[in-house]
Chains A and B, each alone.
Chain A
């Protein structure tokens, strides 16, 4: 049942592929704004790069949530889905689809941003250990699913509310703080030649914890929305 639901979500997303690309454009554009606003100096950009890329990833995830929940709610499909499968399954299918269609592309496009933000500036070339790009990708790979999981609660709770876009941000951003801290700390630690395994491990722990608990909350919230 889960795979049927997942297939449906992915098919819907594929047929609406331009909408799927918009969060990705947003992600790149937000990061590109920072050199204009602050300074194009490579040393400086390198310093702020982890935080900027992570905040942009966080906002892109938040803004892309709408695609996977809103239309199903407004055309009544969500009600039918909840009759068909358990709320947790529906929630999990939506979360996984959301991550595959927006979270994973963020991870894949992040090397481009690492280049634009001079993340590898001044580091010895050609030595694999000195390259920061894989670490950025790894931190996003472990962190973005958690962003999707937590965001799903927010969007599901706001479906039946009268104002929703900004509401989701207000509810969910405080919950994103731990992921933001450990996500950008991973890269900063690695830039300063410190160990970053602990940060990655905590990101992984947060992911597993969220994976175990949040689908229930999201399922519950979806049920409340259609009740």
Chain B
């Protein structure tokens, strides 16, 4: 079927490795532009919160990384399902590429949240539902990484870690629900709610969210390329590719 061609192409490490080399420069440029605008607006040209003062600017980092920490896990679980059902090796490589980036985003969300908590809540840690479930999400990422790295056999590592990612993804809402029932302090979701956030803050926030999404994509693509290199090292196309790049590098 012609309409599924992109899907089959994505499943080919060779196709992805060759194409992504030409995507990366564009992605870097777009990310740099978005960050330039986003940081300018969020750090200088946006209003100071009437209660929180300048500390509200932490939000422009905190909200994007927190969103990515959860979307990253979801993406990982979806790739895990694709990998297990259609036995696509690229899908497994994507889960492996996402895990450390997602874990880093989760850590950043916790870190910036704690920094934000000191001036606003008066404490850097509170056993609140969202904080606690974010911490547990970090543990889930670490569990995935720990499991994946403790196999000698790569295919077993891929499939086992994929099962864990899916089980974790099913559990995330349950964990969140139960922790919420248990204790709550964090404010409710308000980013897209009408009137909950001033447009002068919402616009830079959206730019920053876009910038972080692109950065996330770049990091995953770079890691994925490394993953392809480490796994397909014996294939001829990759050796030819690497050799060709090296000769270019020597000439210039």
Contacts and interface: CB of A to CB of B under 8 A. Distances in A.
A195 interface: no
B150 A161 contact: yes
A170 B142 contact: yes
Given A173-B139, A221-B163, A162 B179 contact: no
Interface string B165-207: 0111011001101110110000000000000000000000000
A162 B178 contact: no
A160 B160 contact: yes
A175 interface: yes
Interface of A is mostly: helix
Nearest to A171: B143
Contacts of A153: 163-164, 167
A217 interface: yes
Contacts of B143: 170-172, 174
A181 B132 CA distance: 12
Given A175-B171, A220-B163, A157 B147 contact: yes
Contacts of A182: 178
Contact of A158 (B147, B159, B175, B182): B147
Chain A CB within 10 Å, residue with most, of B159, B168, B177, B179? B159
Contacts of B71: none
B159 A171 contact: no
A22 B182 CA distance: 33
Interface string B137-157: 001101100110011110010
Contact of B181 (A164, A175, A181): A181
Interface in B26-72: none
A158 B152 CA distance: 12
B160 A157 contact: yes
B176 to A, nearest CB: 9
Chain B CB within 10 Å, residue with most, of A167, A206, A224? A224
A177 B127 CA distance: 13
A175 B152 contact: no
Contacts, number: 83
- Interface bin, chain B: 20 to 34
B82 interface: no
Contacts of A115: none
B136 interface: yes
Given A161-B150, A173-B139, A225 B174 contact: no
A15 interface: no
B147 A171 contact: yes
Given A170-B142, A171-B143, A177 B175 contact: yes
Contacts of B170: 213
B156 A160 contact: yes
A209 B178 CA distance: 15
A91 to B, nearest CB: 12
Contact of B151 (A161, A172, A175, A213): A161
Given A167-B147, A174-B136, A177-B175, A161 B182 contact: no
B102 to A, nearest CB: 15
Contacts of B142: 170
Contacts of A206: 174
A164 B150 CA distance: 8
B153 A177 contact: no
B228 to A, nearest CB: 23
A178 interface: yes
Contacts of B159: 224, 227
Given A162-B150, A171-B147, A177-B178, A157 B171 contact: no
Nearest to B155: A227
Contacts of A141: none
Contacts of A213: 170
Given A174-B140, A177-B136, A181-B181, 17 more contacts: A153-B167, A157-B164, A158-B147, A160-B151, A161-B151, A161-B160, A171-B147, A174-B139, A174-B168, A174-B175, A175-B168, A178-B178, A202-B178, A206-B174, A217-B163, A221-B160, A224-B163
16 contacts: A153-B164, A157-B163, A157-B164, A158-B160, A160-B151, A160-B156, A171-B146, A172-B143, A174-B171, A174-B175, A175-B175, A178-B171, A185-B182, A214-B167, A221-B163, A224-B160
